[in-house]
Amino acid sequence: MIGVFFLRYNEVMKKPSKFERHESRLATTDDHGHRVYLYPEDVKGFWRHRRTIFFWFLIILYLVLPWTRVGGKQTILLDIAHREFTFFGYTFYGHDAPLLIFIFLGIPLFFGFVTSIWGRVWCGWGCPQTVFIDAIYRNIELWTEGKARAREALDKAPWNAVKIARKGSKWILFLLVSMHIGHSFVGYFVGTRELYDITMAPPTEHWGVFVATWIATGIALFDFGWFREQFCIIACPYGRFQSVMMDDHSMIVTYDEQRGEPRRSPEVSHENEGDCINCYHCVKVCPTGIDIRRGTQMECIACTNCIDACDEIMDKVGKPKGLIRYDSELGKKGIKVKKLGVRSIIYLTLLTVIFSLFVYKLKHADELRVTMLRGSKTTFSMIKSGDTEMVLNHFNVTIDANAGSKDGILFRIKDSELASKIELKTPHIPWMLKKGHNKTQLFFRFPKELLSDGSRNITLLVLTGENLEKSILVKEQEVPLAGPLQ
447 forms bridges with which residues in the sheet? 390
Per DSSP, the residues of 188-223 read HHH-HHHHHHHHHS-GGG-HHHHHHHHHHHHHHHHI
Give me the phi and psi of 409, to 5 degrees please: -100, 135
Q: Residue 107 Cβ, how far from ligand SF4 at the closest point, in Å?
A: 24
Tell me the C-alpha distance between 8 and 400, whole Å. Answer: 71
188-203 core/surface letters (b: 16 or more CB in 10 A; e: else):
bbbbbebbeebeeeee
What is the C-alpha end-to-end distance of the chain, expressed in Å? Answer: 104
Nearer to ligand SF4, 217 or 296 (CB): 296
Q: Residue 164 Cβ, how far from ligand SF4 at the closest point, in Å?
A: 32
Nearer to ligand SF4, 119 or 483 (CB): 119
Q: Residue 273 Cβ, how far from ligand SF4 at the closest point, in Å?
A: 11
Nearer to ligand SF4, 280 or 431 (CB): 280
Q: Residue 17 Cβ, how far from ligand SF4 at the closest point, in Å?
A: 9
Nearer to ligand SF4, 251 or 397 (CB): 251
Q: Residue 369 Cβ, how far from ligand SF4 at the closest point, in Å?
A: 46
Neighbouring residues of 313: CB distance < 8 A, sequence distance ≥ 6: 277, 279, 281
- Which whole-number Å values give the CA distances from 121 to 49, 55, 321, 393, in the listed order? 16, 13, 21, 59
Q: Residue 234 Cβ, how far from ligand SF4 at the closest point, in Å?
A: 15
Nearer to ligand SF4, 319 or 437 (CB): 319
Q: Residue 19 Cβ, how far from ligand SF4 at the closest point, in Å?
A: 9
* CB neighbourhood size of 378 (10 A): 11
Tell me the C-alpha distance between 252 and 120, whole Å. Answer: 7
Q: Residue 341 Cβ, how far from ligand SF4 at the closest point, in Å?
A: 22
Nearer to ligand SF4, 120 or 170 (CB): 120
Q: Residue 16 Cβ, how far from ligand SF4 at the closest point, in Å?
A: 14
Tell me the C-alpha distance between 229 and 236, whole Å. Answer: 10
Residue 128: asked if its preceding bond is cis (omega within 30°), the reply is no
Contact by Cβ (8 Å): 427, 454: no
Nearer to ligand SF4, 206 or 281 (CB): 281
Nearer to ligand SF4, 109 or 283 (CB): 283
Nearer to ligand SF4, 185 or 255 (CB): 255
Tell me the C-alpha distance between 15 and 280, whole Å. Answer: 13
Q: Residue 117 Cβ, how far from ligand SF4 at the closest point, in Å?
A: 17
Nearer to ligand SF4, 187 or 287 (CB): 287
- Using the Cα atoms of residue 258, residue 263, residue 267 and residue 269 in order, give the sign of their dihedral: positive
Nearer to ligand SF4, 194 or 257 (CB): 257
Contact by Cβ (8 Å): 195, 186: yes
Q: Residue 170 Cβ, how far from ligand SF4 at the closest point, in Å?
A: 23
Question: 413, 414, 407, 416: which is closest to 426 by C-alpha?
Answer: 413
- Give residues in contact with ligand SF4 (CB under 6 A): 253, 255, 260, 276-282, 285-288, 290, 292-293, 300-306, 309-310, 313, 323-324
Nearer to ligand SF4, 272 or 457 (CB): 272
Residue 262: asked if its preceding bond is cis (omega within 30°), the reply is yes
Q: Is 44 helix (H, G, I), strand (E, B) or coil?
A: coil
Q: Residue 300 Cβ, how far from ligand SF4 at the closest point, in Å?
A: 3
Tell me the C-alpha distance between 250 and 339, whole Å. Answer: 9
* CB neighbourhood size of 67 (10 A): 13
Tell me the C-alpha distance between 18 and 239, whole Å. Answer: 27
